[in-house]
Structure 1
């Protein structure tokens, strides 16, 4: 696919995906959402992990309101557009490739919905989070009620929108919107280190981590425990396990230490 809004670069086993709509603060139009979905549906075979970032000072300013106003979509057209966003972001969350989000500046509206689909989110101190849809006379449509609501809870999401709250990086980490805060300008470097380390994990283990945990969380307790045992049985009996166990038994594996 010929990408116009994404820049794709390989760095060893890590594929770096850069939102490249600098003049629009990386706002998401229909074409960009399609590019995101198609890329993560079929990433490079040599990629073991991915880093998703935005070009310039902002990660993503959300829905491209200029396109939204120009197209004047009907309710059905907008519903179908939302479903394409759901499909595209599902390719990130459930596609099987670990995706590390490198955040800076605006992570708002659809940008927060996009970030919430990433498996690990590193923010620098310039990052701020908001869901300003209420102030724009619209409603979330890219999955926030599911992904963001499950991170911070539905009550806090309602408050976040009604009170027009903007959270800085530190508060965002307290709430789970990001997992780590680093000095300004360093989120990409830190995200790359995480991605490079994760790329050394067994592919089957990484696949289980990023595809099973969220789905199991949607299940009842008994169904979740059964699904966990099923996934564990498949992963633990894969050929990759023998090498990892041998390294551990020979004390050649890295010690577990705080990071």
Structure 2
């Protein structure tokens, strides 16, 4: 593994594996990796750079015991921002998370401990989320006199539904373990979320880059369209991806039965 230029990304530790996986760690453990403005700007820079520098996948985790406790409330309190100033802060959060979701590089979050408030907004912008037994999810904005500003009303609602989203915000309800998986807050529950996330990333990195790009950008765009427009867009994307020259060898391996076969998992 090689260490990426650390100075490029404030509060993020970045290493790159030989197969192009960016191992990114939120590095404010003393703050439970809460997101201050410098870290949000670093996420914008990182997810701008990743597709341009041929990252094959990104694994995002948090240093210490927690993934991310959300907005840095101490910074927010001290800044005493005006409504217009905080509006701009929220737009920067949206820029970071949109670059994650729509950028075309698979993003896998390895979750531990707190995935709370803005931390859940960050995780929900990833394509795959892996939790462990310590992981808990909450949106405590109601108790703190706040409202979500980083996309929870969109992405978390998509994951759990409007009624549960409102309940989480009003009551501070906490989800964890298998219940969180069943609700869609994460797709995997593992003993070691980071190891499992890295295993998934290595597997995903074996896919053709154009195919991964389409999966990790087009699906989200299509979900914002009408059914008729999404069907047309899907046909266009399939026309490009399914005829890419690099896919011919894989199709040939399927045809002559030399390639991997899809089998059910054995217990």
TM-score norm. by structure 2 comes to 0.94
Of 30, 38, 54, which aligns to 2:37?
30
**Distance apart, 1:46 and its partner CA:** 4.2
Quote the Cα distance in structure 1 between the aligned partners of 2:172 and 2:22. Answer: 35
Of 10, 19, 24, which aligns to 2:16?
10
User: Tell me, what secondary structure is at the counterpart of 2:165?
Assistant: helix
**Distance apart, 1:155 and its partner CA:** 1.7
Structure 1 partner of 2:108: 100
Structure 2 partner of 1:215: 221
RMSD between aligned alpha carbons?
1.1
Alignment of 1:104-253 (within 5 A): 104-183=112-191, 186-253=192-259
Of 64, 71, 79, which aligns to 1:63?
71
**Distance apart, 1:192 and its partner CA:** 0.4
Contact 1:52 1:100 in 2 (8 A): yes
Which region of structure 1 is more displaced relative to structure 2, 163-172 or 116-125?
A: 163-172
Question: Does residue 81 of the first structure (1) align with residue 89 of the second (2)?
Answer: yes
Alignment of 1:29-48 (within 5 A): 29-43=36-50, 45-48=53-56
Which region of structure 1 is more displaced relative to structure 2, 92-101 or 248-257?
A: 248-257
**Distance apart, 1:218 and its partner CA:** 1.4
User: Tell me, what secondary structure is at the counterpart of 1:242?
Assistant: helix
**Distance apart, 1:252 and its partner CA:** 2.2
Quote the Cα distance in structure 1 between the aligned partners of 2:263 and 2:23. Answer: 27
**Distance apart, 1:47 and its partner CA:** 2.1
Quote the Cα distance in structure 2 between the aligned partners of 1:169 and 1:223. Answer: 38
Contact 2:140 2:171 in 1 (8 A): no
Instruction: Flag as ranges the 4+ runs of structure 1 deviating above 6 A.
Output: none
Contact 2:118 2:150 in 1 (8 A): yes
Offset from partner CA, 1:52-80 (integer Å, 9 cap, x none): 00011100000000000000010111111
Of 257, 261, 264, which aligns to 1:258?
264
Which ranges in structure 1 are unaligned for 5 or more consecutive residues? none
Quote the Cα distance in structure 2 between the aligned partners of 1:102 and 1:159. Answer: 25
Which ranges in structure 2 are unaligned for 5 or more consecutive residues? 1-6
User: Tell me, what secondary structure is at the counterpart of 2:8?
Assistant: coil
TM-score norm. by structure 1 comes to 0.96
